Structure 1
Amino acid sequence: MSLVIENGWPRSAAWTGGERGELRLGGIGVRELAAEFGTPVYVLDEEEFLARCALWREALPDGEVHYGGKAFLCPEVVRWLDSAGLCLDVCTGGELAVAVAGGMDPARVVFHGNNKSAAELRRAVALGVGCVVVDSFTEIERLTTLAEEAGIRQRVMIRVTPGVSAHTHEFIATGGDDSKFGFSLNAGLAAEAVRRVLAAPALELAGLHSHIGSQITDLGGFALAARRMSAFLLDSEREHGVTIPKLDLGGGLGIVHRPGDPVPPSPAEVVAALREAVPARVRLAVEPGRSIAGPTTVALYEVGTVKDIPGVGRYVSVDGGMSDNPRPAMYGAAYTAVVASRASQAPPREATVVGRHCESGDVLVRDLPLPADVRPGDLLAVPASGAYQRSMASNYNHVTRPPVIAVRDGSARVIVRRETEDDLLRLYT
């Protein structure tokens, strides 16, 4: 029995085996995966990842698809992106280092960030990074100096905040005038940024950029941002007598995390809405991250305790928590989970799935109907775990971070190994 992909599962996810059934991912049962690799563990469906890359590439054959590396990045993923014909967005020197380690041509890397250090920019210039997205007047001056010292002309895009509400959580909304990112269009700062870049001989204005937020499930905000950015591009060209060849309208397309969540538009629908507003001669770029990585991965946990509190409810504790998925604690991200290691005929009973950390807020899933006979040793599977979870994972309480296992056609391999206590101790003097 296949699980419903609209509920955030990769296409290979299926329930097999009848009464002694289990969830299978990439053709491998979760009991086997847990026995070999331990828990917690992120199980990434390689074919699902590549299929989602292909959907974006097919939706925009005449433009550029830049994978948002902050969603999840490791050298093997960089190699997948390269093979799929995608470019890569990075926003720190560390992400740039991973891109280089994975073999990505720096000319296909776009470097973001609202506070890039001089050292990060110097390295980007030296490596030949294809484009730097400038985010402040200070950065324009800093990058101009570094490009002059290197004797090159650095291609840049100007990040513009178009004053568009993305109707998402305030922590992941980035397009409003009060955003820490970019130059405000409404306040006239974006127009001044264009003037300063054009006045800098060591910089080449390759395009304009905007990004309105994350986990967006309707086209309205995308379309409005595209119209405002297109109008600003045309106004800038008329004012300065130049041609601005590219408009990067960012990413932010949401995914389904649990049953009942709104199903977002497809990549083709997003691109069509953007294309309607963008002049045909302008090269369009997009930056999907979550919509590629998110549904590819299932997090597996082992149940350690089940605690019933009269008048309160049931707590099901697992061997991970906010160190491998801080998103519920940070901004209320909602997930679902299933008992994945066995079938159960028991009626559902509402439970709260909690982690092992010394925080009352260490909650992974609230108000979740689980089989009433859930017990220690059961494996819980949490879909839609591919974006931001491993990227944001920490060593809180000195817990080691889980591995990432790629599955495909009945085989599994480690692409990010599990941390050990030796890894933690190695940092101390």
Structure 2
Amino acid sequence: MMSKQELKLAVIGGGSSYTPELIDGLIRYYDEFPVTELVLVDIEAGYNKLQIVGALARRMIEASGKPIRLALTLDRREAIRGAHFVSTQIRVGMLEARSRDEKIPLSHGLIGQETTGAGGFAKALRTIPVILEICREIEELAPDAFLINFTNPAGIVTEAVLKHSNVNTVGLCNIPIGTQMQVARLYDAAPETVDLEVAGINHLHWTTRIGIDGVDRTDDFMNRVEALGGKSVKNIPDLEWNADFIRSLGALPCAYHRYYYMKDEMLAKLLQVYREKGTTRADEVLSVEAELFGIYRKPEIVAKPPQLENRGGAYYSEAAIRLMKSIYNDKGDMQVVNVRNGRTIECLPEEVAVEVQCRITANGPQPVGLTRPLPAQIRGLLQIVKAYEELTVEAAVTGDYGIALQALTIHPLVGDEAAARRVLDDIIAANERYLPQFQR
């Protein structure tokens, strides 16, 4: 168990619009996770945002009365030095790069999305080398620290760290905790009583068992979904699936499965907006962020504004703080995180990253075995996308064009060698300054 004195947290990407969520969580859970030193660090291009977010964070802390010392810096090494936890929430290339990630695939008639398909691939190529630089600094300056990675694509980034560094790392996403909250609302139950068995990888996981108060409610849940007849449920978007499909699948897919199970419909919607307006989700986020930072600047704002919910980070602080305080307190509770597979999912290699239920201890997350092997309808898609992720990590580290081409070619949202080559060439050209490994 960690020392209860002088707990230091370094947040890399501290100028993110999400940071007030994290500050809110640190304040609310201070008694269980008493961070005394908080350092927000960013790059020079993010200096103005860091100052705005930092000023709001300082007002929030002062209003709370919690004895948290806040520092803002562009010196990443000093931020990391001596930290107990390092949280990464970076976007290499900023939102302009995200816009390209979404528009380049669409220009080729492919799904353009931030974390999956060709868009997620481009983001991974830019991000992995930077994350591994950060890991080398953690190894040197804070070797016992835990790296809590929120940076997308979280599963691929976590796998790169597991394979190419010695850092204690955990990948985190807000979707599993969001599903837990949704199920709790459906059953009018307290979230802490909901126990989910989750199997898969980040943004491609299936909830295969649902327990409430220690009682297995999986069959009852499936019957409820069937009774809905595929109709949407207010505030529960993950339940908007065709009942026959869900029954035959035997599990609840996460929202990102729409890009795979409803590929034509999703592509048509994205292409319609792109062709009519020339915009993608990145443009919406730019507008949301402009509004948020306008609010953050106001000196009378001393709490996270409700408009932050429009940014898409629901339960971000809940997931992040819950994980860190469970490690800090050696709590032994169950959470869904991204970790090394080992033998948890038997149809995948041991060294890859998976998103599964774990027991959270002072030594980090300990994966819990699945109650039954994954059926073919889950196993087949999972193995293909995991192979894509393995190749993407290798391509990002080595800059091997052939490996990158193979990664895109086998991805279900690309799936064609000629299309993969065209989109890969555009990705490399558009990201030349961020992909020196491909310029050798």
TM-score norm. by structure 1 comes to 0.24
**Structure with the largest fraction of helix:** 2
Structure with greater Cα Rg: 1
Which is strand-richer, 1 or 2? 1
